[in-house]
Amino acid sequence: MALSAEEFQTVQAPKPEVLKKVDPVSLPQRPLVENNRSFHYITDLICSIVEVKTPTWWWIAFTVAALTASFTLMGLTYLVSTGVGVWGLNNPVNWGWAIVNFVFWIGIGHAGTLISAILCLLKQSWRTSINRAAEAMTIFAVVCAGIFPLFHVGRVWFAWWLFPLPNANWIWPQFRSPLEWDVFAVSTYGTVSFLFWCMGMIPDFATIRDRCGEVAKRRIEGASGAVEKAFQIGYQKFRLYLYTILSAGWRGSTNHWRNFEMAYLLLAGLCTPLVLSVHTIVSFDFAASILPGWHTTIFPPYFVAGAIFSGFGMVLTLMLPLRALYGLHDLITQAHIDNMCKITLATGSMVGYAYAMEFFIAWYGANPYEGFAFVNRAFGQYSWAYWIMISCNVISPQLFWFKSVRDNAALVWVISIFVNVGMWFERFVITVTSLANDFLPSSWGYYSPTMVDIFTYFGTFGLFSVLFLLFIRFLPLMALSEVKALSMPQGDPHYHGTDHRDSHTHKAKTPVHHHGEEGVDQ
């Protein structure tokens, strides 16, 4: 049981004399909100992103993204009207870009879930300023990922047969197939992530809602011309209704916060196993087969590490430009970037270890087919892809050992792109090399994607960008209340000074959130 500071002092034996001479080493932690920013600053900074007039760069980016997304639409329209044969799939490579892209996008989502769930349970408070965007990234990545298996079934209008729904035909999915496990894993993952994301935003929606009146006044007064004024009146009314509905009656009462915190914790607990299970099951798509290069027990942990690696790569790719565009340097600090780089380094090294271990086991297992599969990967017809993968995934993150690299945002961003590229190639190498050169040399082949493959994949980046741009334009980019709890000294309402031991005993009893401020900020 925790004692209060006073009780703690009284039950303590008298301090030995020598301790008075000991000067404890102070271990300063970098503040997670820099420059002593006030609550109002944080509210204003984040809310204004959705309140100001739509910036020109947003329109340009949105147009480009939407045009890019139309490539997916074209690719899929052509596929549905013609047949799956328009993809480059054929014997012996029956799985090509479709599964590669699926695993690529699903993997990216994992960083979001890791940040929101595991880091929440581990009380890693630096997660707060990036978790919202990372969760959004997760959901949009799942949307992009889902397209590929959905259309790979061929007759997409029968895709609902993947779910075990009672039907007049009395047929059920093949429960022994890892692909069916994928359906459950990914749909659970998508649902829970979505709930987590939506629920976490409720207090922030309330903040935006409460600011709607002033924003409307400002925007309607600032309108030039009758047409714009009429538009603004309608639009501001829409905003008010939108955020009122989204904030679900949130008033920031203590009861609301109690329920919110409990629900958040429960969902975090529910998400935590999903971080590990989803990519484990994705890896079963390969590992449960008997193909050399796929049939390995290292796949689940190796895939999970790779997923988190690629996810953090994508988080960095997205957050660094956002930080620069919106001047979020005080909230997404160098400490955040350092942490993300270190996780990327750690998971990248795990992935590198897995590559090495696969080779070792192929040799140690003395199975000629397994041995060939790996030698063929590195030196066969797809060796170019293998070496791109190695240089992007194993070598480039090692640069994060150096502080000077981590401090250079531009360089971090470039490396994060390398990580994304490398992880795509990893899935390509795994999928295609094993299929193209399996047991029977007479059936070997060389796989190349068709134009439709390329269009469909290229377009998903547009789709992802469209969704992400809509997210930053209409939804709160950061968990305001959680970030505020970290802004010292305001986030520590009783302000316990700097003495180490005292502040620790007290902190355990201090509420994490500074609730009273929420929703009545202005």
Partner 1 sequence: MANLFKKSVNLIPLKVIIALAMTASAVIAGVTYYFTPKYSRVGYQPTQPVAFDHSLHVEQVGMDCRYCHTYVDRSEHSNVPATNTCMSCHSMVLTDSPQLAPIRESYATGEPVQWVKIHKTPDYVYFNHAAHVNRGISCVECHGQINEMEVVYHAKSLSMAFCLECHKNPEDYIRPLDKVYDLNWEAESQQAQARMGEDLVHQWNINPPLSCSGCHR
**Quick one: which segment of 137-145, 166-174, 340-348, 354-362 binds partner 1 (CB under 8 A)?**
166-174
In the block, tokens 């690299």 appear at 405
Q: Binding pattern to partner 1, positions 269-298, x when CB under 8 A? A: ------------------------------
| Minimum CB distance to partner 1, residue 252 (Å) | 13
User: Do residues 176 and 283 make contact, with C-beta atoms less than 8 angstroms apart?
Assistant: no
- Between the alpha carbon of residue 444 and those of residues 237, 362, 377, 378, 436, the distances in Å are 63, 21, 14, 17, 6
Neighbour tally for 350: CB within 10 Å? 17
Residues 6+ apart with CB under 8 A from 40: 521, 522
Tell me whether residue 188 or residue 244 sits nearer to partner 1 (CB atom).
244
Peptide bond into 493 cis (omega under 30): no
User: Do residues 222 and 263 make contact, with C-beta atoms less than 8 angstroms apart?
Assistant: no
Six token digits for residue 474 = 């209409």
CA–CA dist 325, 106 (Å, integer): 27
Peptide bond into 489 cis (omega under 30): yes
| Minimum CB distance to partner 1, residue 102 (Å) | 23
User: Do residues 243 and 205 make contact, with C-beta atoms less than 8 angstroms apart?
Assistant: yes
Residues 6+ apart with CB under 8 A from 312: 111, 340, 343, 344, 347, 416, 419
- Taking CB under 8 A as the rule, does residue 238 contact partner 1? no
User: Do residues 439 and 369 make contact, with C-beta atoms less than 8 angstroms apart?
Assistant: yes
| Minimum CB distance to partner 1, residue 191 (Å) | 16
- Taking CB under 8 A as the rule, does residue 364 contact partner 1? no
Q: How deeply is 227 buried, as exposed, middle or buried, from its count of CB atoms within 10 A (0-12, 13-18, 19+)?
A: exposed
Tell me whether residue 146 or residue 519 sits nearer to partner 1 (CB atom).
519
Secondary structure letter of residue 443 according to DSSP: G
Six token digits for residue 440 = 């029977």
| Minimum CB distance to partner 1, residue 169 (Å) | 4
- Taking CB under 8 A as the rule, does residue 249 contact partner 1? yes
Tell me whether residue 54 or residue 522 sits nearer to partner 1 (CB atom).
522
Q: How deeply is 7 buried, as exposed, middle or buried, from its count of CB atoms within 10 A (0-12, 13-18, 19+)?
A: exposed
Q: Binding pattern to partner 1, positions 173-212, x when CB under 8 A? A: -------------------------------------x--
CA 458 to the chain's CA centroid: 20
Pick from 19, 171, 226, 227 the residue near partner 1 by CB under 8 A: 171
CA–CA dist 79, 73 (Å, integer): 10
Please provide residue 85's backbone torsions phi and psi, each rounded to the nearest 5 degrees.
Answer: -60, -15
Tell me whether residue 202 or residue 378 sits nearer to partner 1 (CB atom).
202
Tell me whether residue 171 or residue 227 sits nearer to partner 1 (CB atom).
171
| Minimum CB distance to partner 1, residue 289 (Å) | 18
| Minimum CB distance to partner 1, residue 166 (Å) | 9
**Quick one: which segment of 103-111, 239-247, 292-300, 326-334 binds partner 1 (CB under 8 A)?**
239-247
Pick from 13, 168, 440, 508 the residue near partner 1 by CB under 8 A: 168
- Taking CB under 8 A as the rule, does residue 244 contact partner 1? yes
Tell me whether residue 105 or residue 243 sits nearer to partner 1 (CB atom).
243
- Taking CB under 8 A as the rule, does residue 170 contact partner 1? yes
Pick from 213, 273, 321, 368 the residue near partner 1 by CB under 8 A: 213
**Quick one: which segment of 11-19, 47-55, 165-173, 256-264 binds partner 1 (CB under 8 A)?**
165-173
**Quick one: which segment of 105-113, 162-170, 357-365, 476-484 binds partner 1 (CB under 8 A)?**
162-170
User: Do residues 394 and 352 make contact, with C-beta atoms less than 8 angstroms apart?
Assistant: yes
Provide the binding-site residues for partner 1, judged by CB under 8 A: 168-171, 210, 213, 240-241, 244, 249
